[in-house]
Amino acid sequence: MESIASFIHTLSYMLVPLVAAVVLHEYAHGWVAHFFGDQTAKSQGRLTINPLPHIDVWGSILVPLMLSLIPGGVIFGWAKPVPINPSQLHNPRRDMALVAIAGPLMNLCLAIVSGLFLMLFVYLDPTIQANWPPQPGAEPREDLLGMLLVPLTAMALSSIIINIVLLSFNLLPFPPLDGSRVLRSLLPTKPAMALNRLEPYGMLIIFGLLMLDSRIPIISSFIFFMFRLIGQPFLPA
């Protein structure tokens, strides 16, 4: 019973930041594509911040739920990719790079905004940082400010973590991630075509890198660096 309560508690403050991160990531792709002439996302009802058209059963529901059951794990997920038609873009090669980078930049902006909110919450009540994380069985705050700031602080921290993880992974230069689309737009034709041929094996490469990262922590070091930069108030020295 206690584990179920803990699961619901974790989900309560990570669900909103996760949905916001993946939906706004895809919205940014669609908005930039629309700005440069591609009407595909708008015509299919995907140029919206309404979460429902973007929800992916596996990436938005099942995978985050399974990850939330892992003690100390970070909830991660994704939404349905926004449809993009490069032939409708004004300058397909240049504009596809801008469309691709828009998603990770949105996650960076969300992480920074969450970090600013985190600093605001600490400023409003410095005791939050001193007593974080709240200990099981601790007396609940009775003042209105504390009752509001504790869950908001948890959501801000979750938002920083989720958005930095999404930013970091999507910058990897392997298809189908956004980093590969940016790289493909910058490379000459032949290397770009070679990178395209990696698409069927992209997820295998990514999983391989994640396994390697446990021994050579490149990705996790970048994630930690970004979190230290943005979420500094809640990291130990």
26 is catalytic: yes
pLDDT for the residue 2: 45
Domain positions in the chain are 2-234
d(CA 77, CA 22): 7
Does this model's pTM top 0.85?
A: no
- Given the residues 2, 26, 139, 199, the one annotated as active site: 26
Query: What are the structure tokens assigned to 40, written together?
Result: 């595909």
Q: What is the pLDDT of residues 34-72, one digit of tens each?
A: 999 999 999 999 999 998 898 887 777 777 777 666 655
- Count CB neighbours of 183 within 10 A: 19
Q: What are phi and psi of 167, to 5 degrees?
A: -60, -50
- What are the DSSP calls for 52-100, one per residue? GGG--IIIIIIHHHHHHTSTTPPP----PPPP--GGGSSSHHHHHHHHH
Identity at 161, one-letter amino acid code: I
Q: How many CA atoms lie within 13 A of 202 on its CB side?
A: 19
pLDDT for the residue 75: 60
d(CA 38, CA 204): 31
Q: What is the pLDDT of residues 106-151, one digit of tens each?
A: 999 999 999 889 888 888 888 777 777 666 555 666 666 667 888 8
